[in-house]
Chains A and B, each alone.
Chain A
């Protein structure tokens, strides 16, 4: 919408010869003056890094030394590197489980909350609050919950309910660390699906429910045929955002496990950090980043199409 056709008033010769007061009246000139600072920053912070990451991924740059072009060798190495293959499968599990958990819980809560919108207002904000806490802080908090020994809350709870055998060093154990990390990350992410789905359900006109009641629909069928389909817009947005957030996650992994134990909680987003910033294999890290980028872009294709149509 908002086609600029209404702007089709002739541009020149209508100011009555009055002197332009503010930088002249050329639209093109004005546009570039307004855009220039933004474009400069955008080019520096987005375009240049994007191109440079792709170019670097074809070099063997390490540390300070300038790399030389080695073609696709980094990519060939990546897909033979057991650490990368682990990171790849960890990324898939992490992204799917975190999204399913957070969106599932958030959506369920949204439906329950919509049965009593006013009474649950404060509680919804409580769920949403975790989304506004820095991931670093959330990581610090969950570190305390998963702490080994009895000073960790989770262990204390298990000991308290007579499951003392279950206590363990949650984050130091290869079989539990990833699951703990996913639970902690999902905790931060539930608020968003709750809010978007709730907003969608609230847009359902009350008359629809009344009509359904009059026609004798049971609450299960109201749920299935009215609430579920009509909460889809919010659900779709939430799934997409949470998928993207999970794919790019870094801070919480860094604080909680640092990718360990034995690199079992490393996603690609973390793998590239370790290879490039800790082991200074910049070219190799860039190749891993390009793989992450491709995954993100593929997931985003529908959103890109939609956004392009909306913006232009």
Chain B
């Protein structure tokens, strides 16, 4: 397996990779070419010209800026909620003893199997009865609540390797359990907390089903795009801009932090690698 001058491997894999992202290239070109050219096909190279018209006009055509702001609020609230509460729970499960610890832990870490379809009907009737339909909280609460199944597990796995001497030293010095969490564990657990935040941010931003069902007036980008895609209007260039704006933030985060996602996916749905 050493590098034995095998030039054909990068060439082959590279060719496949380029083929693989052709759909994404097509999306970008569709947003940049004049509508007349797109109806011929974005891949046609005769009379090739680029324009930013769609990028300018789309903002009045669709409420993109508002949807972006909704996506942002929804995602940031859900991400902060998880980043704050998951480490506290993970610390309690790892270092404190209390009645019910084992049972609660088993239930929480195994909730990862639940499909989001399970929450749709009960929360729909609950939000309808409590008037939370169309409020951001109708999505933030399930996003944060469902995230504990993997986020608590992820942080707790990290804390297993946390030096117990530090915790015992704090205890001997008269630090209370809450103080130990705040002053000793939290400052040293920023890595898994950041990982949890990145994963949660991407999943919340990309989610569509719950916002589509529970939000009406202010919808996030994914819901707006789903509506636009089903409208059969001919303005593909503007629709492509909307799609690019929907995917830009999470994709940048994803590519920057992609190694978290390999590890994170396993804690979300299975054991450690």
Contacts and interface: CB of A to CB of B under 8 A. Distances in A.
A140 B225 contact: yes
B69 interface: no
B117 to A, nearest CB: 5
Contacts of A124: 17
Interface stretch (A41-49, A71-79, A81-89, A93-101): A41-49
A16 to B, nearest CB: 7
Interface residues of A, number: 125
A129 B255 CA distance: 7
Q: Interface size class for chain B?
A: 35 or more
Contact of B250 (A50, A132, A199, A234): A132
Interface stretch (A18-26, A161-169, A172-180): A18-26
Interface string A9-38: 100001110101111111110111111011
B145 to A, nearest CB: 2
Contact of B116 (A26, A233, A248): A248
A156 B44 CA distance: 10
B124 A277 contact: yes
A304 B110 contact: yes
A6 to B, nearest CB: 5
Tell me whether chain A's interface is mostly helix, strand or loop, or mixed.
Answer: helix
A145 interface: yes
A199 B262 contact: yes
23 contacts: A4-B95, A22-B182, A34-B88, A42-B108, A44-B145, A46-B119, A52-B121, A109-B16, A119-B10, A127-B17, A128-B261, A133-B250, A137-B246, A140-B27, A143-B229, A206-B1, A237-B270, A251-B207, A258-B230, A272-B120, A277-B213, A303-B269, A312-B102
Interface of B: 1-3, 6, 9-10, 12-14, 16-18, 20-24, 26-27, 30, 38-41, 43, 81, 85-86, 88-89, 91-99, 101-102, 104-126, 141-142, 144-146, 148-149, 152-153, 156-157, 160, 164, 167-168, 171-172, 174-179, 181-182, 202, 205-209, 213, 222-223, 225-226, 228-230, 236, 239, 243, 246-247, 250-251, 253-255, 258, 261-262, 265-266, 268-273
Q: Which 6 A-B pairs have the closest CB atoms?
A: A45-B145, A132-B254, A30-B177, A52-B122, A134-B206, A22-B179
